[in-house]
């Protein structure tokens, strides 16, 4: 819809609302659809981006941890290095914080927080620089503040923000290792211990600037003064007047509400995965809000002031729980006062597992961060400005979980509600965000792997479209590889426009000098070998365009791989052998070397993504699939350096070790650290079944030893499924072959798979449902049929050899029949249940239903036919279906 089409209505509305058309916001109170937001890529493949600043002209300054200051120029789309600092980058240090001065347009000052390299003593430094003519003037540095640190592990913080009054906020981490305290609170007071094992020395110390958020007023000469309202007035003995908030562990990203002055930050919490009766709570990440100076708990409390115990590391005794109303720091390592201010609870808190208070935040790794509070009136009336629906809402995000939420607060600045922002959009480790002058949102994304230049890192702009929306271009081809000449049928299916009145026009550029206009589904023949970029451009009625590309490779045809399976291809039957053979045909390679064919049969106990496995062009690694599903790639990569060792390094370290598999299974499930010479500890994963972890380990160990655990299945033979009492288990049968390439086209891989399920199938695992509900009761997981003609369906079931099914049902007194049909709910009927014809039958019972003989592979429907009173309160319940020969 074009925004100008509101104007006719606005003439009338203006009489009542006394507003002009340019001020009208149709989404002031109505949540806009996600399709009105567009994520625009500006820069990709960055090297550990940290913080950004959007300038008033649309250019963007951002920093990378290794020391580079970069500038994205909006006018050209180019990104250049405009400054470099020599920084210490071990651990979590480096170039961490960036902010522009509130009067940047006049004074051209920027502020950087960094760890200077080769400098004694070890400090992290806050400095002001001149940024003139798009260059950082290193000679202009004004060192404002140096904070002594321990060059080791962990937690550096480093975020910089200004409030509306020109006060500068800087976050610092606790500079304390979490790996000497079993992932609970680090308060080791023993003598002759390393300097970084007691956070009471930093976060709990009123006389230390670590583990805090400081607030200062920068002065024109490069010094600073102390504003009123900090936690300790100047001159208070054994305190630092710069402290605004203390009791922080790692406040990695902060923001300040420019209207209220409220300070928000994300607190990265400890790693304990379970509560301990004598140590304290499991770890939580936090989103915090400070309306005034205060103490926020660490290392004595976490979350909503969940208390830790005073723990004696020498005797390993728990002495007492800390009191949030009157916390006391008696550590011999502190230089501050003993009696601390009362601890303030977090605004939002969540652990690794599901949060009781905030279940919408999901589960898994966590790294909470706080973004801006949006005030629509602060931004110019641009075409991309966010709507009033988000007015006064806080944007929060999680670096590990890749989500963004908006949070609404009450008038008293207490938590009210939250909702996911752009839930179907992919964000890859968001690390900073900021609204620009035009009201669009800029997002900096770190990318998948830690300490790496990630392909999925980048700088992005999120724009809002109140009126006409950009169309969506989707291009498909019936084949993208093949021998010349190659005829390809293209389709623009899926291309669309979110505005119903818009009509699309299509233009295809085939990349070989020819094109086709107007038609959405052209055919084209590529006569010569080569790689052809095919572009589809769609244009809507208002002239908005969108494009997408496909690559067509001509000159090498993908190999065809076949598994001839003599038995049923949907189910396996224990102890019943099946003859099979594998064949490969490749047009260019001719005769195939059997040694080059990969063939495997894997038993999987459950938890595997069946849908994903059934659509892979490459051979599926069961172990790698489990690794991906478990989220392990957030900290480990196959070859790239990340938080933990690479899987190749792990494989090489334990190659040939007889107990390697058992050792690594225990390490993954129970956690641990210290093996790789660092201080990082991997948390336990006790929720993962041991058999799944074993397959994950098999994948890892095979990286450096391809023969590890390998079963040499013959390409022709007999397979006899083993007996199993696990109905969720199944066999994954795979064959693949990679050809040798041809005509300068890279080698192609052909792959085919069979997924053989246990014949005892839960009804809730059906592929399609109509007027039914999944339910759990009395230990059973079943399907409720809630209306007449309700049905469930299983896709593409091979019925060869299947003569009957046994169902476990609770008829609930409903009369009628359960019909089994092929192809659709009204397709040919091949079976009918007699139970429902017998009147008032209640409780779970079994029935065997004979099937008409068929060798079809088809969608199989179970349809309820009844004239009884059926509703969501009186339902026919189907628990399982067993397919029998």
Residue 758, marked binder: no
CA–CA gap between residue 59 and residue 56 (Å, rounded):
7
Closest Cα to residue 82, out of 98, 69, 100? 69
Region of 541 on the Ramachandran plot (φ > 0 left; ψ -120 to 50 alpha; else beta): alpha
Q: Is 684 helix (H, G, I), strand (E, B) or coil?
A: coil
Closest Cα to residue 83, out of 127, 28, 122? 127
- Whether 152 and 139 have beta carbons less than 8 Å apart is answered as no
- Whether 754 and 733 have beta carbons less than 8 Å apart is answered as yes
Residue 108, marked binder: no
523 burial via Cβ count (<10 Å: 0-12, 13-18, 19+):
exposed
CA–CA gap between residue 561 and residue 716 (Å, rounded):
14
* Helices 690-702 and 622-629, packing angle to 10 deg: 120
Beta strands in 59-191 (DSSP E): 60-64, 68-72, 79-84, 95-100, 109-114, 123-132, 135-148, 157-162, 168-172
- Whether 302 and 270 have beta carbons less than 8 Å apart is answered as yes
CA–CA gap between residue 139 and residue 137 (Å, rounded):
5
End-to-end CA distance of the chain: 58
**Per-position DSSP letters for 502-568, written without gaps between them:** ---EEEEE-SSS-EEES-SS-EEEE-SSEEEEEEEEEE-TTS-EEEEEEEEEESBPPPEEEEEESS-
Instruction: Check residue 862 and report its DSSP letter.
Output: E
List all residues 6 or more positions away from 693 whose beta carbon is below 8 Å from its beta carbon. Answer: 626, 665, 668, 669, 685
**Per-position DSSP letters for 188-241, written without gaps between them:** ---TT--TTSBGGGTTT-TT-SSSEEEEEEE-TTS-EEPPTT-SS-TT-TT--T
Closest Cα to residue 93, out of 168, 180, 158, 141? 158
Helix residue spans in 619-703 (DSSP H): 622-629, 647-653, 660-670, 690-702
Length of the chain: 885
The position carrying tokens 């991997």 is 682
Whole-number Cα distances in Å, 207 to 204, 240, 519: 9, 5, 73
- Whether 310 and 281 have beta carbons less than 8 Å apart is answered as no
- Whether 288 and 212 have beta carbons less than 8 Å apart is answered as no
List all residues 6 or more positions away from 153 whose beta carbon is below 8 Å from its beta carbon. Answer: 91, 92, 177, 179, 196, 678, 679, 680
252 burial via Cβ count (<10 Å: 0-12, 13-18, 19+):
buried
Closest Cα to residue 136, out of 121, 114, 169, 166? 114
Tokens representing 70? Answer: 């970069």
CA–CA gap between residue 660 and residue 281 (Å, rounded):
33
- Whether 268 and 285 have beta carbons less than 8 Å apart is answered as yes
Residue 636, marked binder: yes
List all residues 6 or more positions away from 277 whose beta carbon is below 8 Å from its beta carbon. Answer: none
Binding region: 632, 636, 682
Binding region for heme c: 632, 636, 682
């Amino acid at each position: 819809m074009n925004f100008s089409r509101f104007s006719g209505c606005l003439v009338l509305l203006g009489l009542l609302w006394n507003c002009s058309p340019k001020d009208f916001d149709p989404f002031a109170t109505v949540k806009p659809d996600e399709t009105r937001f567009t994520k625009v890529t500006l820069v990709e493949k960055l090297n550990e981006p940290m913080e950004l600043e959007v300038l008033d002209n649309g250019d963007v300054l951002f920093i990378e941890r290794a020391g580079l200051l970069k500038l994205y120029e909006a006018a050209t789309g180019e990104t250049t290095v405009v400054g470099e600092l020599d920084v210490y980058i071990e651990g979590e240090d480096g170039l961490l914080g960036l902010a522009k001065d509130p009067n940047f347009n006049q004074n051209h000052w920027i502020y950087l927080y960094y760890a200077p390299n080769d400098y004694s003593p070890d400090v992290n430094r806050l400095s002001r620089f001149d940024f003139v003519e798009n260059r950082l003037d290193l000679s202009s540095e004004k060192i404002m503040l140096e904070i002594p640190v321990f060059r080791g592990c962990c937690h550096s913080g480093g975020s910089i923000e200004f409030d509306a009054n020109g006060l500068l906020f800087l976050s610092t981490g606790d500079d304390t290792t979490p790996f000497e305290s079993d992932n609970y609170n680090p308060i080791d007071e023993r003598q002759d211990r390393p300097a970084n094992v007691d956070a009471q020395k930093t976060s709990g110390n009123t006389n230390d600037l670590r583990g805090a958020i400081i607030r200062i007023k920068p002065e024109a000469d490069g010094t600073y003064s102390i504003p009123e309202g900090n936690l300790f007035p100047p001159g208070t003995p054994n305190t630092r007047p710069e402290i605004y908030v203390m009791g922080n562990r790692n406040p990695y990203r902060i923001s300040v509400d420019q209207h209220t002055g409220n300070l928000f930050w994300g607190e990265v919490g400890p790693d304990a995965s379970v509560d301990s009766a004598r140590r304290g709570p499991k770890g939580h990440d936090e989103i915090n809000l400070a309306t005034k100076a205060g103490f926020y708990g660490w290392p004595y409390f976490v979350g909503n002031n969940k208390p830790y115990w005073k723990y004696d590391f020498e005797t390993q005794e728990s002495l007492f729980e800390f009191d949030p109303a009157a916390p006391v720091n008696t550590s011999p390592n502190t230089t501050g006062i003993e009696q601390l201010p009362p601890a303030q609870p977090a605004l939002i808190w969540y652990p690794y597992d599901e949060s009781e208070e905030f279940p919408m935040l999901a589960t898994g790794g966590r790294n909470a961060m706080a973004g801006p509070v949006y005030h629509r009136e602060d931004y110019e009336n641009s075409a991309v400005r966010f709507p009033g629906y988000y007015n006064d809402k806080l944007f929060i995000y999680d670096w590990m979980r890749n989500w963004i939420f908006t949070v609404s607060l009450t008038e008293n600045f207490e938590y009210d509600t939250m909702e996911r922002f752009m839930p179907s959009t992919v964000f890859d480790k968001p690390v900073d965000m900021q609204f620009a002058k035009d009201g669009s949102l800029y997002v900096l994304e770190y990318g998948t792997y830690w300490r790496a230049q990630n392909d999925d890192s980048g700088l992005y702009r999120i724009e809002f479209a109140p009126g006409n929306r950009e169309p969506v271009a989707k291009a498909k081809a019936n084949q993208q590889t093949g021998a010349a000449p190659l005829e390809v049928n293209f389709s623009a299916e899926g291309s669309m426009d979110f505005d119903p009145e818009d009509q699309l026009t299509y233009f295809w550029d085939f990349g070989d000098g020819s094109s086709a206009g107007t038609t959405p589904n052209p055919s084209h023949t590529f006569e010569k070998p080569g790689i052809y970029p095919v572009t589809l451009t769609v244009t809507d009625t208002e002239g908005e365009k969108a494009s997408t590309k496909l690559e067509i490779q001509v000159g090498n045809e993908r190999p065809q791989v076949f598994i001839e399976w003599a038995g049923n291809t949907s189910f396996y039957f224990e102890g019943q052998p099946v003859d099979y053979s594998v064949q490969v045909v490749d047009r260019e390679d001719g005769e195939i070397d059997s040694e080059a064919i990969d063939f495997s049969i894997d038993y999987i106990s459950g938890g595997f993504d069946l849908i994903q496995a059934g659509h892979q062009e490459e051979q599926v690694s069961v172990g790698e699939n489990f690794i991906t599903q478990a989220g392990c790639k957030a900290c480990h990569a196959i070859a790239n350096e990340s938080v933990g060792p690479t899987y190749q390094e792990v494989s090489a370290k334990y190659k040939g070790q007889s107990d390697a598999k058992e050792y690594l299974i225990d390490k993954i499930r129970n956690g641990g650290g210290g093996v790789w010479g660092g201080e990082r500890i991997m948390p336990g994963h006790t929720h993962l079944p041991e058999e799944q972890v074993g397959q994950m380990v098999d994948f890892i160990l095979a990286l450096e030893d391809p023969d590890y655990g390998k079963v040499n299945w013959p390409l022709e033979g007999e397979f006899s499924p083993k007996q199993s009492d696990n109905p969720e288990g199944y066999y994954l049968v795979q064959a693949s072959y990679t050809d040798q390439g041809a005509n300068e086209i890279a080698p192609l891989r052909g792959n085919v798979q069979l997924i053989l399920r246990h014949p005892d199938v839960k009804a809730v695992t059906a592929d399609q449902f109509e007027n039914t509900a999944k339910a759990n009761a009395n230990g059973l997981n079943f399907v409720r049929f809630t209306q007449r003609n309700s049905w469930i369906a299983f896709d593409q079931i091979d019925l060869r050899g299947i003569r009957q099914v046994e169902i476990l049902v609770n008829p609930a007194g409903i009369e009628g029949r359960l019909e089994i049909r092929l192809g659709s709910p009204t397709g040919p009927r091949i079976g009918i249940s007699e139970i429902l014809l017998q009147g008032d039958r209640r409780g779970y019972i079994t029935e065997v239903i004979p099937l008409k003989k068929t060798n079809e592979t088809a969608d199989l429907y179970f349809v309820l036919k009844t004239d009884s009173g059926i509703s969501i309160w009186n339902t026919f319940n189907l628990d399982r279906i067993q397919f029998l020969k």
